[in-house]
Structure 1
Amino acid sequence: MKLVDMQITEFMQTLGSDAPAPGGGSAAALSASMGASLVMMVAQLTIGKKKYAEYDAEMKEVLKDATDAQDWLLKAIDKDTEAFNDVSAVFSMPKETDEDKAKRREAMQVALKGAAKSPYSMMEAMLEMLRITDRAIGKSNTNAASDLGVAALSLKSGLQSAWLNVLINLSSIKDEEFVKEYRTEGEVILKEGCALADKIYEEILEIV
């Protein structure tokens, strides 16, 4: 069964078990997907309201973009666990001969790169979702303003959590160029995303 098809209690029990996956990466995607869902809710509480008629078209775009982001992030919950499982599968490969060991090392490096790319791609999606959230500030139903703040915080949590998962995988990758590229680009995404989330939060504090 896919993680996203589990009931909340079942998912949380699985997450809290001694099973190595799902772990922090899937939790990061879940946090961010909740942020996207909150923005969807705020948009739907704004669209069609006379008071916000001038922003109707823009909020419809926000709803569409947030819905697409939510769909992607929900899928990432399972994809991250699958990437981790690829790493775990390498440990069952034979290691009797030097050739076996060489194949095992190569397979591990490939799997680790996949495990680093998974949360990195989440970071890109989370940054974009924060930009979508920012578009709703001042143009959406003020009665739900706090929900935009919670969305920003959920996305920031997901972003920082995904970054930790990028780093832990990069630490075991031997390809220096790969490590440098993902560390450098990841830091840029992290900085921009956290700054944007903080900006949204401060703006919401002025509204509520």
Structure 2
Amino acid sequence: MMKLADMTVTGFADTVASDAPAPGGGSCAALYGSIGAALTAMVGGLTQGRKKYAEYAEHAAEVEKKGNELKTRLLDVMDRDTEAFNVVSAAFGMPKATDEEKAARSAAIQEGLKGCTKTPMEMMELIDETLTLAQSLLGRFNDTSASDLGVAFLSLKAGIQGAWLNVLINVGSLKDQKFAAEYRAKGEALLAHALPLADECYAEIVKLIEG
């Protein structure tokens, strides 16, 4: 199957709208994250080469570079999230006529669910990192791109919350309670940092645009 990241926007949206269970919310959450990272890189780029913002040029160049790297990593995890889902689907399709087959199927499902928990957690970590990067532009970026940076904060917030829902839905089916508790705690800590940050940054942008 074609990589999600290589699809046209229309192709991706149509595939999401189809009755195929994946790509779904998890892949979309990663896409929101990558769009947020792309917008962050764009604002970094638009801040360079302007006399008015010359003192911020070096930092803006660093943000552009990092933003592009994070965008690429989020697009990669978007595809791996769908692959992880396909592993679970295949496990559910395994034979279950004998006790041995039932045990093997159950183990494969559990292993697959762990994979489906790891990819959205990776999204959360990458999006949290991107939020911190985008925040670092506040007060030192090209003001004409304020709305673009605002959309970055909104996309990143939606992305990290969407990824969290995908962590939650998978840990709920895990038998390994230690693994489940570890991922819940990790996710909650990331949200505790990211959500207030995204809201504060968005509010700053609104204030800036309203003057």
Q: How is 1:106-185 mapped onto 2 (pairs within 5 angstroms)?
A: 106-185=107-186
Corresponding residue for 2:37? 36
> Could you tell me the TM-score, scaled by structure 2's length?
0.97
1:6 aligns with 2:7: yes
Secondary structure of the residue aligned to 1:95 is coil
Q: Which amino acid aligns with 2:150?
A: G
- Listed one character per residue, the Cα deviations across residues 94-153 of structure 1 (whole Å, up to 9, x for unaligned) are 211101111111111100000011101100000000000001111110000111111000
Matched residue type, 1:180: A
Instruction: Please state how far the C-alpha of 1:70 moved relative to its aligned partner.
Output: 0.3
| CA distance in 2 between partners of 1:87 and 1:8 (Å) | 26
**Cα distance between partner residues in 1 of 2:203 and 2:192:** 17
Runs of 4+ in 1 over 2 A off after TM superposition: none
Q: How many Å apart are 1:179 and its aligned residue?
A: 0.7
- Flag structure 2 segments of 5+ consecutive residues without an equivalent: none
Q: How far did 1:202 drift?
A: 1.0
Matched residue, 1:27: 28
What are the superposed Cα offsets for residues 15-46 of structure 1, whole Å, 9 maximum, x if unpaired? Answer: 00100000100000111111111111111111
> Aligned-residue CA RMSD in angstroms?
0.7
Sequence identity (%)? 54
Q: Which amino acid aligns with 1:4?
A: A
- For the residue of structure 2 that corresponds to 1:102, the secondary structure is helix
Distance 1:189 1:141 in 2: 29
TM-score by length of 1: 0.98
The Cα shift of 1:92 comes to 2.0
Q: Which amino acid aligns with 2:77?
A: A
- Structure 1 segments unaligned to the other structure (5+ residues): none
What number of residue pairs does the alignment pair up? 208
